[in-house]
Amino acid sequence: MDWIFIAQVVNLLIFLISLYFYIQRKPFFLLPTLFIAMGLHGFNFLLGTLWFPFKVVNLIIFLYLLTRIKPKNPEKSVYISFSVIFFLGFVNALFNLPDKGFNTGLLQGPLLRPIIQLYTYFSTFSLIVFIPFVTRNYNTLLRLDKYYMKISEFIIIIGFIHFLFLKADIPFMPIIRSSGENNEIAKFSAKGIIMTRIYGFTGEPKTLGSFLLPYFFVSFYKYLNGFINKNKRYHAFMLILSLFVIIQTYSSAVLIGLGLALLLGFILKLLSLKNKIIIRSFYVLVALFLIGNQLIEREGNYEKISFLQFLEARTIGRVQEEIVERGEITVLNNIMSKAALPIMGFGPGMYVFSSEEMVYSKGINKIDSGWVTIFSDLGITGILLFLAVIIMVTVNRKHILKKYYVLYNSYLFGLISVATTMLGNYEPILFPLFLGFIFAVYKLNNAEK
């Protein structure tokens, strides 16, 4: 099967649908299209640079922002702040072009790569203006929230179907590579046992986990506070299924992000040990671990180990084994070796030219960590801006009316989970997406004060 051709067709269809909504002046429906595109992330192809379905939708959203939206506070001031930092980072990149040539091909060379990365920053962060623009009243906000929840649940079900296919040894969609050398399955080895990983239609286990972790925390917070999706049994079932699918991705970044987000949830009082539902949820989590343990012990003639040992191998164990060899360490060492670089970084996307280790004959070696990427692209200035915005929206929740309180805090919890996952993985659409959700609620809240 020609998966590259299928990926091109999928992206073309997504583009035509998005263009239709643009022409018909129906911007609201671009967001459900974006959610669907996130679930189809695995259908990528190379055209100068790698194209994913979400990039196609985001292109139209950015076009809508440029041509038809006049943003208002507070999202306008935040978007301008980010834009200034992005542009200064781009100017910084032009002053720090590498002395030697790099044969990376296409649009990944030293001259064009910072332009591509600058566009990526501008276009993805357009969501913090676009989402408040399309959610003009409370009912529209609820519609958007419903689309997000339902489409995320569909992605969860696809992930679970992938899990069943793996258990039945039935071929599923491969991980599409631009080189044409697709990977039929994703797997890893720990403690002498080989385990397969699920990714649905998102192309990578870490991508599926990164997309679903915010859903889990948004849904979990809503459930704790009586903001029920359909009915309690359905809501609880989807919560458990989402956690199961997230765990089955065995993504180190996502599993670590899950633990850190839970910890921050208690620190910020989004969660409380006094809540009976949290205690029951703990029992469900233990049950999932026990089920996972039994599944592992039935695997062939391998050494029998517990599910918790697998989690340890994919989190603390993996960090300990790979910390010295990871590209993030190389990039950080290169930044810190030059006094001026920590302030503004290398410029958008330019970290790959800081060392010959990051470039090979067919392209570039990207680093996974979102926070290291931001630090290398924008320096301490960029890191401080991202953190300042997180602190700002966290503090602002004390000004939220009761009508909007659950939605605001659920999206805040989603944003926190995105931030914790960014320690090990970076999906550039997620941070501005949840920031956009938060600003949409904040705008409506202020209008009713």
* Tens-place pLDDT, residues 35-59: 999 999 999 988 777 889 999 999 9
Are 55 and 93 within one domain?
no
- Before 74, cis peptide (omega within 30)? yes
Cα atoms in the 13 Å half-sphere on the side-chain side of 226: 3
The Cα–Cα gap between 167 and 197 comes to 11
Are 125 and 235 within one domain?
no
Q: Is the pLDDT of residue 103 over 80?
A: no
Find residue 326's DSSP bridge partners.
none
DSSP 382-420: HHHHHHHHHHHHHHGGGG--HHHHHHHHHHHHHHHHHHH
Are 162 and 118 within one domain?
no
The Cα–Cα gap between 182 and 175 comes to 6
- Residue 139 domain-assigned? no
- Residue 147 domain-assigned? no
Are 61 and 84 within one domain?
no
* Listed residues 293, 326, 359: the one ending a domain: 326
Are 367 and 438 within one domain?
yes
- Nearest 5 degrees, angle CA 379-CA 383-CA 384? 115
Q: Is the pLDDT of residue 307 over 90?
A: no
Least confident range from 107-121, 249-263, 417-431: namely 107-121
Considering its fold, how many domains does the chain have in total? Answer: 3
Other beta carbons within 10 Å of 67 = 8
Are 112 and 169 within one domain?
no
The secondary structure of residue 350, as a DSSP letter, is G
Residue with more model confidence, 291 or 328: 328
Range of the domain at 173: 154-326
* Listed residues 68, 89, 106: the one ending a domain: 68
- Could you tell me the pLDDT band of residue 316, with boundaries at 50, 70 and 90? low
pTM for the full predicted model: 0.90
- Could you tell me the pLDDT band of residue 367, with boundaries at 50, 70 and 90? confident
Identify which of 159, 148, 145, 130 has the alpha carbon closest to the alpha carbon of residue 69: 130
Least confident range from 173-177, 317-321, 426-430: namely 317-321
Q: Is the pLDDT of residue 409 over 90?
A: yes
Task: Kindly state the average pLDDT of the residues 312-330.
Answer: 60
Q: Is the pLDDT of residue 324 over 50?
A: no
Task: Kindly state the average pLDDT of the residues 136-146.
Answer: 96
* Listed residues 291, 326, 361: the one ending a domain: 326
CB burial of 385-424 (b: ≥16 within 10 Å; e: otherwise) equals: bbeebbeebbebbeebeeebbbbbbbbbbbbbbbbbbbbb
Are 187 and 103 within one domain?
no
Are 247 and 354 within one domain?
no
- Could you tell me the pLDDT band of residue 302, with boundaries at 50, 70 and 90? very low
Are 52 and 97 within one domain?
no
